[in-house]
Amino acid sequence: MSAQAPSPLNARLQAVHERIERAALHAGRDPAEVALLAVAKRKTAAEVVAGVRAGLSEIAENYAQEALAKIPEVRQQLGPAAGPRWHFVGRLQRNKARQVVEHFDVLHTLDRAALGDALERRAAEAGRRLDVFVQVDLCGEPQKGGAAPEALPALLETSLGWPHLDVRGLMTLPAETRNPEDSRPAFARLRALRDELRPLPGGASLDELSMGMSADFEVAIQEGATIIRVGSALFGPRDDPGPGRAA
pLDDT at position 247, please? 67
- Tell me how far apart the 2 most distant CA atoms of the chain are, in Å: 64
> Would 244 be classed as within a structural domain?
no
Residues 211, 172 contacting (CB under 8 angstroms) = yes
Domain that holds residue 98: 8-235
> Would 1 be classed as within a structural domain?
no
> Would 28 be classed as within a structural domain?
yes
pLDDT at position 242, please? 47
pLDDT at position 244, please? 44
Number of domains in the chain: 1
> Would 52 be classed as within a structural domain?
yes
What DSSP assignment string belongs to 73-109? HHHHHH-GGGPPEEEE-S---GGGHHHHHHH-SEEEE
> Would 245 be classed as within a structural domain?
no
Residues 62, 41 contacting (CB under 8 angstroms) = yes
What DSSP assignment string belongs to 198-224? TTSTT-TT--EEE---TTTHHHHHHTT
> Would 196 be classed as within a structural domain?
yes
> Would 67 be classed as within a structural domain?
yes
pLDDT at position 1, please? 45
Short-list 68, 89, 22, CA closest to 246: 89
> Would 213 be classed as within a structural domain?
yes
Q: What does the pLDDT profile of the chain (247 residues) look like in tens digits?
A: 455 667 899 999 999 999 999 999 999 999 999 999 999 999 999 999 999 999 999 999 999 999 999 999 999 999 877 789 999 999 999 999 999 999 999 999 999 999 999 999 999 999 999 999 999 999 887 778 899 999 999 999 999 999 999 999 999 999 888 899 999 999 999 999 999 999 999 999 999 999 999 999 999 999 999 999 999 999 988 665 444 455 6
Q: What is the pTM of this model?
A: 0.92
CATH number of the domain encompassing residue 217: 3.20.20.10
